[in-house]
Amino acid sequence: MKIAAAAAGGALLCCISFAVTLSGVDGDQAELAAAGRAVMVAVPVAVGCYAWHRRPGEPFGPLLVATGFGWFLTTLAESDDALLYSIGRVAGWLVEVELVYLALSFPTGRLPERIDRQLVWAAAAMLAILYLPSALFAETYPLPAPYTSCQAGCPANAFFVLDSEPGVVDSVLRPLRELLTVILFLAVTARLAVRVRHATRSMRRVLSPVLAVALARVFLLALTVAVRRIDRDSPAVDVLTWTIALGLPAMSVSFFLGLVRGRLFAARALETLGMRLHAGYDARKLRAALAEALEDSSLWLAYWIPLDGGRWVDADGQAVELPAPGSRRCVTEVSEGRRRIAAIVHDEALRDQQELIEAAASYARIALENQRLGAKVQSSLREVRDSRSRILASADEERRRIERDLHDGAQQRLVALRIKLELTEELVRSDPDAGLEKLHALGAEVEQTLDEIRSLARGVYPALLADQGLADALRAAARRAPVPSTVEPNGIGRYPQEVESAVYFCCLEALQNASKHARGASAVTISLTEDDSLRFEVRDDGAGFDAETHRPGAGLTNMRDRLAAIGGELTITSTLGQGAVVSGWVPLGRA
């Protein structure tokens, strides 16, 4: 709707430009001049509507349409009315700044580089300092000019506020601003050349027509200034000024050619990509196909694994970090709705070809999804291997601890008890009464040894957990916790030993972490629920932490390993000032 309205408005302004020029120009060339002025409005509006339609999310199309409307004002310089004539001449200065912005921001309509913004600001400053103020104290506008066919007897400057024009205007101001204008357009052209040089081959196809027209226009501008200074009445000046004026629609045509060439390249690239993917793919071939289609040999892929808060991995399942902003690498995420699939990491030069990258990603979405699943399998296998290594190491450490506790505790007590029994035996033979008293005293030591063995056994597998189940065992642990803790069992029952053991020790570890690390915590709640799985949640009201920057310790790693060993998962969420939640689930298919 907006594009149609812009096209209709452009058509109306073309008709007005034609009529104004036809009525204001005398001679046999009036129709030709009117047609030329109408073209200066029609071409940028038409190309702007096309760019707007092809790239609706980018501002270049609307900006070019607005510039076409602005160029309409320059045709008022063909009028015999002094005010309209003056408006048209001043508008001619304004459109040159618009042209600088469009040339530097093509094809997106944005200026991401600092040098581009500086050139636009330089053009705006020159307009504000050297051009616009002169409309107040210059009695006439310089002739000949690209935006009027008038050569002599032109209308006066309607904005002139002095009695006479200062001599400095013609002797200093106009030569200075003409020189600076040529330098500015030369700098803009040089900047375009640098962009073309550092762009990808596909982007060179887009920018080359714009660079060619910019080179031609800056050459003609410099030539016109020189010829006009030498001989203002030379017939060549009139031809050169009209050529510069028609350079405006020529620049719009170069924009159109760049967009079309870019689109043709994109079509060929996507066709090649489709054929490569149709012929079969693996991780290496998929990356190579995308790199060939986008003409970026440094391109690489990352896949999103949503476990444990989510992370990026490569095709082998190895965790990778995406480039940070400002690293001269850009990242384009591939998603299905809100679900992340993969990321394409490509050269910064492709930033202006987001449409091509997204189209290539759409073609490869199924392949990327399959590769993501493969990367997830590889990552899971890697985690299983690491988890097995940690479990074996933990089991070995636990055996060494039990051996040490038995050796240093119960074994030493039993050895001492045996020696005391031998001494008591001799005492009984020599003094039966004293020997019996000694035997009774040894009974207390036997009880202490039994208590130590029971304590050691509870460290391996709590007796209350085996006898009463998960809820009672956790209640007992909650009563011993330093932070007031409650247990909320919601319809849970008894489960296999490995399930109850995994959930119990995970909850116990989370409870201990909350007691040690949850600053300001006043309460901990342990919730247990059952649906198709056994779920638990340990929530505290402490200070919390930043889950994205927090590195899990050995305790959390052991919790993940316990649950992963029986097919479960652990999730940790926390926000600064809002406490932490440790939750997990265990499947009950074997319950």
304: exposed, middle or buried (Cβ count in 10 Å: 0-12, 13-18, 19+) = buried
Name the stretches of the chain with pLDDT < 50: 590-591
β-bridge partners, 526: 487, 538
The backbone region for 27, taken as left when phi is positive above 0, alpha when psi lies in -120 to 50, beta otherwise, is left
Q: What span, in angstroms and rounded, lies between the C-alpha atoms of 506 and 477? A: 12
Q: What span, in angstroms and rounded, lies between the C-alpha atoms of 219 and 233? A: 20
Q: What span, in angstroms and rounded, lies between the C-alpha atoms of 49 and 65? A: 7
β-bridge partners, 586: 534
Q: What are the CA-CA distances from residue 79 to residues 17, 46, 72 (Å)? A: 10, 25, 13
Q: What angle do helix axes 174-198 and 114-126 make, rounded to 10 degrees?
A: 160
What are 562's two structure tokens? Answer: 């316990």
Sign of the torsion angle spanned by Cα atoms 447, 452, 457, 459: positive
* pLDDT score recorded for residue 526: 92
* pLDDT score recorded for residue 372: 61
The amino acid sitting at 299 is L
* pLDDT score recorded for residue 126: 92
313-359 pLDDT, tens digit each? 777 767 788 887 666 678 877 777 677 777 888 876 666 666 677 77
What are 8's two structure tokens? Answer: 């209709």
Q: What span, in angstroms and rounded, lies between the C-alpha atoms of 485 and 477? A: 9
What value does the CA radius of gyration of the chain take, rounded to a whole number of Å?
Answer: 41
The 3-state DSSP class for residue 158 equals: coil
- Residue identified by tokens 């309205």 is 5
Q: Which letter does DSSP use for residue 319 in this model?
A: B
Q: What span, in angstroms and rounded, lies between the C-alpha atoms of 435 and 423? A: 9
Q: What span, in angstroms and rounded, lies between the C-alpha atoms of 563 and 502? A: 6
- Residue identified by tokens 């629609």 is 249
* pLDDT score recorded for residue 590: 47
Where does 406-431 have alpha helices with state H?
411-430
Q: Which letter does DSSP use for residue 332 in this model?
A: E
Task: Decide: 132 and 159 in contact? Cβ < 8 Å.
Answer: no
* pLDDT score recorded for residue 591: 41
For the chain, how many helices (H) and strands (E)? 19, 9
